[in-house]
Amino acid sequence: MNCIAGLALSLHIAMGDDYNMRHPYIECKLEEAESVSVGAFINSEKDLTSYVKYTMYDHIDFEIGAVLGYGDVAIAPMIRLKYKNFFAMPGVEDNKLKGIVLGIEIPIIGEK
């Protein structure tokens, strides 16, 4: 398994300023299916979130998956567009689209 740990920094546009902007994370790609990754991070609500995702491309990643750890929702869908270490994703609050989340991932341990 190829694992990486780091820090993601995010900006929540049109969503207010009560969100955590620092997200330590760890992510591991499965050897059997390199497009599939599992991981965990501290989310925007300051809770631990775990996830599984499928990455569709190499340089411009289109990631889809499922996350655990957001409010009262057992499992929530996740979608994210990523270019190198930069990412953009829908900003959802109370099960409604409220804005956009932009960010950057800074790898600290492991290789991308």
Sequential DSSP letters for 67-112 = EE-BTTBSSEEEEEEEETTEEEEEEEETTEEEEEEEEEEEEEEE--
Q: Give CA–CA dist 49/46, Å, rounded.
A: 9
Return the pLDDT at 106: 96
User: What's the pLDDT score for residue 21?
Assistant: 97
The number of distinct structural domains making up the chain is 1
Name the residue range of residue 94's domain.
2-110
The larger pLDDT score, comparing residue 14 to residue 34, is at 14
Tokens, residue 8: 């993601």
Per-residue pLDDT reduced to its tens digit, 19-66: 999 999 999 999 888 889 999 999 999 999 999 999 888 778 899 999
Return the percent helix, strand and coil in the chain, to nearest 5. Answer: 0, 70, 30
Average pLDDT for residues 66-89, to the nearest whole number? 89
Is 90 exceeded by the pLDDT of residue 74?
A: no
Name the token pair of 3. Answer: 């694992």
